Amino acid sequence: MVFLIIFIASFLLQLIAPWWVIVIISFITCSFIGKTGKIALWSPFLAIVLLWTIMALFKSIPNEHLLAKRVGEMLMVKSWILILILTALLGGFTAAISGFCGYHFRKAILIEKSNS
Q: How confident is the model at residue 115 (pLDDT cuts 50, 70, 90)?
A: confident
pLDDT digits (tens, 9 = 90+) for 55-67: 999 999 999 989 8
- For the chain, what are the domain ranges? 2-115
Q: Which of 70, 68, 41 is nearest to 55 (CA)?
A: 68
Q: What is the mean pLDDT of residues 43-49?
A: 98
Share of the chain above pLDDT 70, in %: 99
Cα–Cα dist 115/108, whole Å: 11
Task: Read off the pTM.
Answer: 0.91
What does the H/E/C string look like for 68-102?
A: HHHHHHHCCCCCHHHHHHHHHHHHHHHHHHHHHHH
Q: What is the mean pLDDT of residues 7-17?
A: 96
Residue 48 has pLDDT above 90, yes or no: yes
Residue 116 has pLDDT above 70, yes or no: no
